[in-house]
Structure 1
């Protein structure tokens, strides 16, 4: 059972359960990165922006 955001990123949103290959994301004007790295960075950015709320 997945309980939190970090577990979701770690176990569900990072790589294929069939091939074991990492998922990757490419944003306009940026290099392709592992989905795990991108999601963790975006979560960190979100938490910084909403820290005072």
Structure 2
């Protein structure tokens, strides 16, 4: 079985994903993971349930 080579840093991983032409979207969430700030909530600054930013 071939050895799995994990990139040593976040930037190397990000570069590898970009080179594979894979796309990703960064989505912010409240600290409780109750609300993902996307779609209708993309411009919200606070969780509408917990009030956290």
Answer whether TM exceeds 0.5 for this pair.
no
TM-score by length of 1: 0.26
- Indicate the structure with greater helix content: 1
- Whichever of the two has the greater Rg, that structure is 2
TM-score by length of 2: 0.26
Higher relative contact order (CA 8 A, sep 6+): 1
